Amino acid sequence: MFSVSSLKRDIPASLVVFFVALPLCLGIALASGAPLFAGLIAGIVGGIVVGSISKAPIGVSGPAAGLTVIVLTAIETLGSYQYFLLAVFLAGLIQIGLGLLRAGVLGYFFPSSVINGMLTGIGLIIILKQIPYAFGFLTPSNSNMLPFSNDGSGTIAALFDILNFVHPGVMLISLVSVVLLIVWERPWVKQNKLLGGLPGPVVAVVVAVILQLGFSGLEVLALTPDYLVSVPVAGSVAEFVGLFTLPDFSQLTNPAIWTVAFTLAIVASIETLLCVEAIDKLDPQKRTTPTNRELIAQGVGNSVSGLIGGLPLTQVIVRSSANLQARAASKLSAILHGFLLLICIAAVPTLLNKIPLGVLAAVLIVTGYKLAKPKLFKAMWSHGLEQFLPFVITVAGVVFTDLLTGVALGMAAAIIMLLQRNYLNSHFLHIKESATAEGRTIITMRLAEEVTFLNKGAIKKQFDNVPIGSVVIIDKSPCVFINHDVQEYLQEFAATAAERDISVEFIENEAPVNQPQLSAS
């Protein structure tokens, strides 16, 4: 199945993806308010299980930053992590159903303005949530993902308290990590043969661990275990197996569980399909990922992850891009990176517990910034209000309420803009005016191939402005579909036109259309 030449590329690529995935799995679990071990489980399942079933040649799956808002809110709402795991398991089954129903085109029904707004809002929330961790402000209020809450316990309230709880050691590690991550994005680093091969997050983690060990002898800068990663350390195989958590199936009839499950399934599916589209475009070999098969693979992965205590997962752009840049030849790279994560948590968990939370916060802050770059706002504005308004409304909705509400508000704004354009814009009408020998004005109106009920308002507006005494020629020859409401209105206009001394003629479509043809008046 895998050739020797592909192994030579896939094995090194899997190491790169492993080093990128490790801090992201831990950081996303931290941002989600879930056990850090859960993020690693999702990374393992995304690599081994999804990688084995999927036919994505380059795509890599794992816990996604785009789901952090849903995960944290769901865990708090349901009141139990075991309840949440049941929702993840069910979400996987729903995704399998979507794949079997061939719903791989689902992502195309969401306008890019809303999708960009959703990702930008998530990016802003991630940044807001990680700022307290970056300064060493660890209190129960950090568990509230909503930046604005009614009781004042949200992230914004926490931000005002940061200066009273700054930990110099944590702040210094976070600052150094952010600088390193920014520097590692510079062209002169990426083009360097030695430095360019090292993933920025890996460099930041290594430097942070070195700083943390160096601070241990300094009273002011020393980090206590509260400021470090805490992954369970198993002394035997039995203890290691016992670290995995099972869902609580007694809540199977709980409506709240199903609400979370459907939310996770839809959002995770959309994120996956968007990532698939992006990575397929970047693939030098221009291979195409079967989207329905990918939904099934993601569904199996989420069900398995939920069964053993892991976070929900999607195909993710950061790890997939790293895989692509590392010149992976096949999906073996994704599978191997999953095994590397498994070996890491089984054999060397004590090393993971040396990692400061501050560096994970830095990785997430930079990730959040990439999702919510200021230039994106400028780009959306340049596309006009039709794109900018749904985008900014989605951003505000996600930040100030929750992800589903934000997306719903953005979709509502996009639909309103569409309806307004269909009413005001007569691009589907081609009007030509000329004069008869008797001096009467001839107006030729050429309809488009598809005329829906959304076009009725614009058509009516045009007819209301036809001058008295005109000759109106309605050319229906291009029409393939004419909505019944529009057909009915054309009949009414033709029947009453004589009252305004208007003559109406029709040029019919030779091919049959969906509705009976009108006779000329």
CA distance 88 to 286: 33
* pLDDT interval class at 521 (50, 70, 90): very low
pLDDT at residue 326, as a whole number? 72
CA distance 111 to 390: 9
* pLDDT interval class at 4 (50, 70, 90): low
* pLDDT interval class at 174 (50, 70, 90): very high
Asked if residue 303 lies in contact with residue 85, where contact means CB atoms within 8 angstroms, the answer is no
CA distance 302 to 89: 6
239 vs 414, which has greater pLDDT? 414
Q: Is the pLDDT of residue 173 over 70?
A: yes
User: By C-alpha distance, which of 390, 343, 459, 369 is closest to 120?
Assistant: 369
pLDDT at residue 140, as a whole number? 41
Pick the CATH number of 430-507 from 3.30.750.24, 3.40.50.300, 3.40.50.2300, 3.40.605.10: 3.30.750.24
Q: Say which range, 243-257, 357-371, 425-439, has the weakest mean pLDDT.
A: 425-439
- Two structure tokens written together for 397: 């909705």
Question: Percent of the chain having pLDDT more than 70?
Answer: 88
User: By C-alpha distance, which of 389, 377, 382 is closest to 421?
Assistant: 389
User: By C-alpha distance, which of 33, 219, 264, 218 is closest to 141?
Assistant: 33
pLDDT at residue 144, as a whole number? 43
Q: Is the pLDDT of residue 345 over 90?
A: no
Q: What is the pLDDT of residues 258-285, one digit of tens each?
A: 999 999 998 899 888 878 877 887 788 8
Q: Is the pLDDT of residue 519 over 70?
A: no
Q: What is the pLDDT of residues 219-231, one digit of tens each?
A: 889 888 888 888 8
pLDDT at residue 449, as a whole number? 77
Q: At what angle do helices 112-135 and 357-371 cross, to 10 degrees?
A: 160
Cβ-proximal residues to 298 (8 Å cutoff; 6+ apart), any chain: 50, 54, 61, 92, 95, 268, 269, 272, 313, 314, 315
- Partner residues linked to 446 by β-bridges: 430, 475
CA distance 444 to 471: 8
CA distance 58 to 289: 9
Alpha-helix residue ranges (DSSP H) falling in 60-167? 68-78, 81-100, 112-135, 155-161
Q: What is the pLDDT of residues 442-499, one digit of tens each?
A: 888 888 777 777 778 778 888 888 888 888 888 888 888 888 888 888 888 999 988 8
Q: Is the pLDDT of residue 325 over 60?
A: yes
pLDDT at residue 517, as a whole number? 44
Q: Is the pLDDT of residue 81 over 60?
A: yes
Asked if residue 322 lies in contact with residue 337, where contact means CB atoms within 8 angstroms, the answer is no
Q: 200-239 burial by CB neighbour count: b if 16+ within 10 A, else e?
A: bbbbbbebbbebbeebeeeeebebeeebbbebeeeeeeee
pLDDT at residue 520, as a whole number? 40
The DSSP-derived string for 195-244 is GGGS-HHHHHHHHHHHHHHHHTT-TTTPPPGGGB------SSHHHHHHTS
pLDDT at residue 427, as a whole number? 39
Asked if residue 294 lies in contact with residue 56, where contact means CB atoms within 8 angstroms, the answer is yes
| Domain spans of the chain, in order of start | 4-414, 430-507
- Residue 289: alpha-carbon gap to chain centroid: 18
What is the mean pLDDT of the segment spanning 70-81?
92
pTM score over 0.85: no
Q: Rounded to the nearest 5°, which phi and psi values hold at 434?
A: -150, 175
CA distance 370 to 166: 26
SS3 of 443-460: the string is EEEECCCEECHHHHHHHH
141 vs 38, which has greater pLDDT? 38
Q: Is the pLDDT of residue 162 over 50?
A: yes
Asked if residue 197 lies in contact with residue 327, where contact means CB atoms within 8 angstroms, the answer is no
Q: Is the pLDDT of residue 425 over 70?
A: no
Q: Rounded to the nearest 5°, which phi and psi values hold at 149?
A: -130, 155
Cβ-proximal residues to 195 (8 Å cutoff; 6+ apart), any chain: 184, 189
C-alpha angle with apex 502: 497 to 508, nearest 5 degrees? 75
* CA quadruple 77, 61, 86, 146: dihedral, nearest 10: 0
pLDDT at residue 422, as a whole number? 61
286 vs 164, which has greater pLDDT? 286
Q: What is the pLDDT of residues 327-340, one digit of tens each?
A: 788 899 999 999 99
Q: What is the pLDDT of residues 139-157, one digit of tens each?
A: 544 444 444 444 444 555 5
What is the mean pLDDT of the segment spanning 176-201?
85
Q: Is the pLDDT of residue 512 over 80?
A: no
CA distance 218 to 349: 25
Alpha-helix residue ranges (DSSP H) falling in 291-331? 291-308, 317-325
pLDDT at residue 202, as a whole number? 80
Q: Rounded to the nearest 5°, which phi and psi values hold at 503?
A: -100, 135
Q: What's the whole-number average pLDDT of the chain?
A: 83
Q: Is the pLDDT of residue 207 over 90?
A: yes
pLDDT at residue 423, as a whole number? 57
- Two structure tokens written together for 248: 């609580």
